[in-house]
Amino acid sequence: MANDTLKKSVTFISRHAPYGVNNARLTLDMALASAVFGQNVSYVFMQDGIYQLLKNQHADGIHSKTLGKALETLSLYGIDEVCVDAESLAERNIQSSELIKDVQLVSRVEIAKLIDEADAVFNL
Amino acid sequence: MKFSIVVYAAPYSSQAAATAFNFTQSLLNQGHDIYRLFFFGDGVHNANRLSVVAQDERNLQQQWDQLIIEHKLDSVVCVSSAVNRGILDQQESRRQDLNAVSAYASSELAGLGQLIDATIHSDRIVNFG
């Protein structure tokens, strides 16, 4: 973007499982809109939010859109910084091999840095 | 300082909607500027003008409406969240041929671009919900 003051760093923190409540869907909508409008987006998954990244989700049975499929397309929108809280994975006994590709495992210290460095944080 | 407030919570279900209102009111009382209010997801219910509340209870939707008018606030309700939940302004009502308007005229139904614009132009974004 020509004018750098119109480009901000925005960090999204998603903390809810993909179905049951729509927080995960709302966060995705905001993150995609931010990317489409040229913002610099970091996307962090923690607590139950990590379940959004599990492979082989099929939400057809509950007549919902499969969130995991949408999350696989983040890089097409220019969202390359997709981070997963390693501690949340360990607490739930989930291995990184069970997640969709192109996500980075990060520590809570690194998440704190993403929050600190962002111009705006959305935590849902 | 210039603030924008994002509300995800519906009134009467979550305390967060009332907290967002109280916070916004405090900001204004302390001389801060509100760049924009943005109601998203269940937060769109805060703009419902058809709510009826017992006399000894707080009518949060009406309080938002009064605050927005009194301070000439820019208030945006996410259009896709709103129409899903039956919050319609004049224009959407006509478009969907529904013959009813449920949104307070003090808020505008618009897209997520307005939230991104608020992110760019505010010193602080505060989320409730």
- CB of A89 within 8 A of CB of A97? no
Interior CA angle at B46 toward B41 and B48, to 5°? 105
Domain-located, residue A68 = yes
Q: Annotated catalytic, B19?
A: no
Confidence of residue B65 (pLDDT cuts 50, 70, 90): very high
**Residues of chain A neighbouring B120 (CB-CB closer than 8 A):** 5-6, 8, 39
In chain A, at which residue ranges do the beta strands (DSSP E only) sit? Answer: 9-14, 40-45, 81-85, 104-106, 120-123
Structural domain span for residue A86: 7-123
Mean pLDDT on A37-56: 97
Residues A66-104: tens digit of each pLDDT:
999 999 999 999 999 999 999 999 999 999 999 999 999
Mean pLDDT on B104-120: 97
Domain-located, residue A101 = yes
Number of domains within chain A: 1
Copy the structure tokens of residue A81: 């910084």
Copy the structure tokens of residue B35: 């760049």
Mean pLDDT on B35-63: 96
Would you list the domain boundaries of chain B? Answer: 2-128
Q: Is the pLDDT assigned to residue A1 strictly greater than 90? A: no
Q: Is the pLDDT assigned to residue B35 strictly greater than 60? A: yes
How would you label A88-103 residue by residue, b for 16+ Cβ within 10 Å and e otherwise? Answer: bbeeeebeeeebbeeb
For strands B33-39 and B2-7, give the pairing.
parallel
pLDDT of amino acid B120: 96
Long-range contacts of B18-21 (CB under 8 A, 24+ apart): B18/B58, B18/B60, B19/B128, B20/B128, B20/B129, B21/B60, B21/B63, B21/B64, B21/B67
Domain-located, residue A2 = no
Catalytic residue selected from B7, B17, B37, B78: B78
Domain-located, residue A1 = no
Element (H, E) at A109: helix A108-117
- The CATH number of residue A79's host domain is 3.40.1260.10
**Residues of chain B neighbouring A120 (CB-CB closer than 8 A):** 119, 122, 125
Q: Do B112 and A29 touch (CB under 8 A)?
A: yes
ipTM score assigned to the predicted complex: 0.92
- The CATH homologous superfamily of the domain defined by B2-128: DsrEFH-like (3.40.1260.10)
pLDDT of amino acid A6: 87
Residues B75-103: tens digit of each pLDDT:
999 999 999 999 999 999 999 999 999 99
